[in-house]
Structure 1
Amino acid sequence: MTLIIDNLQHIQKSIQMACQRAGREVSDVTIIAVTKQVSTERAIEALNAGLSHLGENRPEGLLEKHETIENRATWHYIGSMQTRKVRKVIDQIDYLHSLDRISLAEEINKRVNHTVNCFVQVNVSGEESKHGLTPEEVPTFIEQLSNYPHIRVVGLMTMAPNTEDKELIRSVFKKLKKLQLEIASKGYEYAPCTELSMGMSNDYEIAIEEGATFVRIGTALVGSERRDSNEGER
């Protein structure tokens, strides 16, 4: 637990400085502890350290931890979700960070017993390795989501390129912020789009400077107990 407390203190200090540079309130930023590379026991340590939001990118990992932790955490599903696996996890999560196609919206709306807070995933960088809509596709896609009453679009999500080029990273986050403001200005009741899920272990400070309200931090916060993919978090 000392590892997580020490890491959290460092991250909180970095977030505070980033917010000061951007003229923002620290309370505007929520840390999601991405626990996909650690055990249920480590996830519980994160909760005991004062964190309350946990993120997973695979149904199996989420269900395993949810069985023990249940509603002690606010649950975020941050990976790409296969339509055929929606029914397994959709009633266990509070936020989905990867809504990117109508077939997924249809399945969620059919299977869920509550309103799901969704982030529309946008592939701002245009990398073939990343999931998500192009920025140009987003306005029409969100209009179509008015047909699915169990879906609430709380915001947009993206992943910046894994690069040392900070200006490239910043440009991706700037574009998503501009798009978020565009959608929010439309005043859709089902899609307030006030939030931005962007920023991971290596770029969360830049993301906060550019408007992130949710940052997804895994290895820099809870460490790693196994090798895994970096989908949704680094």
Structure 2
Amino acid sequence: MNNIADNIQKIHARINNACQISGRNPEEVKLVAVSKIKPADMIEEAFHSGQKIFGESYVQEFRDKHPLVSAPVEWHFIGGLQSNKVKYLRGKVSTIHSVDRLSLAQEIDRQWGKTDKTVDIFLQVNVGDESSKAGCSPEELESLVRSVAPLPNLKIKGLMCLPPHFDDPELVRPFFKQLKELAEQINNLHLPAVSMDELSMGMSGDFEVAVEEGATFVRIGTAIFGARTKKA
């Protein structure tokens, strides 16, 4: 039997340890529970165990699941996003982690313009130059930031990455380090309405290394909820 409360507690202990190693304040690191393919009752259980932020990756699944969760959770969207599906997220998520192109940012801005809310976004960078993964290239990042920043209904909070997978987390470290360096480069431009204070990086297999390299949001599913079954 999967004990969600125990798992959350263990993850926070590991985050705290990684912060201690790297001289960081654990309060700087927020845990996003990746709840894709997990039922509403497990989300409720995690919420009542102290978890507040939940990340979903599939728009249709989120649309169906959202009304089933009565707890006042903070929803983040962390998966690949098509512009024609943004309307289903409008006003329901506080943060979108996967903005990798201007056309998507423009549609997010247009949809949130219909609400009295703004939405926080991360710009996704393909640090591993993997054709199978979304994200702008490091070379395109500054141009994307400059194009997206003036959009009034969203706020750039920082960068996100899905680095190449390695069984050894130490092999992922250079990619986390690169994302941190890119954020610092953008911060040094002092662009209006642009913040690079947040880094969304690190998952169940490598989040401690990500924290050591500056992650402020770690996205963890398996280590909280157990292995995922196939999406129906």
Q: TM-score, normalised by structure 2?
A: 0.94
2:173 corresponds to 1:167: no
| Residue aligned with 2:3, SS | helix
Match of 1:24 in 2: 24
Cα 1:164–1:137 shift into 2, 3 Å: same
Runs of 4 or more consecutive aligned structure 1 residues displaced over 4 Å after TM superposition: none
Match of 2:131 in 1: 128
**Cα pair 1:40 1:64 within 8 Å, conserved:** no
Return the alpha-carbon distance in structure 2 between the equivalents of residues 225 and 144 of structure 1: 37
Q: Which amino acid aligns with 2:11?
A: I
Aligned residues: 229
Match of 1:72 in 2: 72
**Which one has a larger percent helix, Structure 1 or Structure 2?**
1
- Within 5 Å, which residues of 2 pair with 1:1-234? 3-69=3-69, 72-112=72-112, 113=115, 114-224=117-227, 226-228=229-231
| Residue aligned with 2:192, SS | coil
Q: Which amino acid aligns with 2:132?
A: S
Task: State the Cα distance separating 1:127 from its structure 2 match.
Answer: 1.1
| Residue aligned with 2:158, SS | strand
Q: Which amino acid aligns with 2:44?
A: I
Return the alpha-carbon distance in structure 1 between the equivalents of residues 71 and 42 of structure 2: 17
Task: State the Cα distance separating 1:63 from its structure 2 match.
Answer: 1.9
Task: State the Cα distance separating 1:132 from its structure 2 match.
Answer: 0.2
**Aligned-residue identity in percent:** 40
Return the alpha-carbon distance in structure 1 between the equivalents of residues 29 and 12 of structure 2: 10
Q: Which amino acid aligns with 1:191?
A: V
Q: Which runs of 5+ in 1 are unaligned?
A: 230-234
**Cα pair 1:195 1:212 within 8 Å, conserved:** yes
Cα 1:101–1:161 shift into 2, 3 Å: same
Q: Which amino acid aligns with 1:68?
A: L
Q: Which runs of 5+ in 2 are unaligned?
A: none
Q: TM-score, normalised by structure 1?
A: 0.93
**Cα pair 1:39 1:225 within 8 Å, conserved:** no
